Amino acid sequence: MFGVEPLVVVAFLLLAAAVVGSALPLIPGPLLSLLGILTYWVATGYSDPTALVLIVLLAVALLGVAVDLFGGALGAKAGGASAKTTAVAAVAGLLLFFVAGPVGVVLGVAGTVFVVEFARHRDARASGRAALAATVGVLGSAVVQVVLTLSILLAMILVVVL
């Protein structure tokens, strides 16, 4: 492919897929970034990127993985939801993804947090606050993941160009 190593192509396909995947539920965008970085590193015979750049890029990718795993739960917890509520909401969001896509995730998490918290405390205001915080956590997590994976992709382009 015009003198480009096939593994380099695979690496950049993974990095591009990471950006798209970060905006979609159930696609581990930051993990794809991690794989893309490592694939490129292997393709260059472990010489590019340099050790320092590699460590920084891997740290950013791992931060993205953490945001992916805990963003929605942290939002719900910050809003006052219990650990049980956040677990039930995560399952509901996952199931509703298959029914209504990304909108199902957001509505599933928000609705479940509200219903479960209202059943626990009979306080509509507190339940609404927890549901809103969970929704902000889910949406904010996606935005942060897109920013992180896009920055990794751009940094890897700079690694190749420079």
Q: Across all residues in the chain, what is the average pLDDT?
A: 91
**pLDDT given at position 49:** 96
Rounded mean pLDDT, 92-116:
88
Q: Is the pLDDT of residue 1 over 60?
A: no
Listed range (23-37, 85-99, 121-135) with the worst mean pLDDT: 85-99
H helices present in 44-161, as ranges = 51-78, 83-121, 124-161
Q: Is the pLDDT of residue 5 over 70?
A: yes
Note if the bond before 30 is cis, omega within 30 degrees.
no
Residue 85 vs residues 11, 26, 40, 64, 67: alpha-carbon distances, Å: 38, 20, 41, 24, 19
> Above pLDDT 70, what percent of the chain?
98
Q: Per-residue confidence at 74, pLDDT binned at 50, 70, 90?
A: confident
Contacts of residue 52, Cβ cutoff 8 Å, sequence gap at least 6: none
pLDDT tens-digit profile of 115-156? 999 999 999 999 999 999 999 988 899 999 999 999 999 999
Tokens 């993990």, residue located: 31
**pLDDT given at position 138:** 85
Burial 67-85 (b: 16+ CB within 10 A, else e): bbeebbbbbbbebbbbeeb
pLDDT tens-digit profile of 34-51? 999 999 999 999 999 999
Burial 43-61 (b: 16+ CB within 10 A, else e): bbeeeebeeebbeebbebb
Q: Is the pLDDT of residue 20 over 80?
A: yes
> Per the structure block, which two tokens stand in for 97?
């993804």
Q: Per-residue confidence at 31, pLDDT binned at 50, 70, 90?
A: very high
Residue 158 vs residues 1, 30, 38, 136, 140: alpha-carbon distances, Å: 20, 19, 16, 33, 27
Q: Is the pLDDT of residue 58 over 80?
A: yes
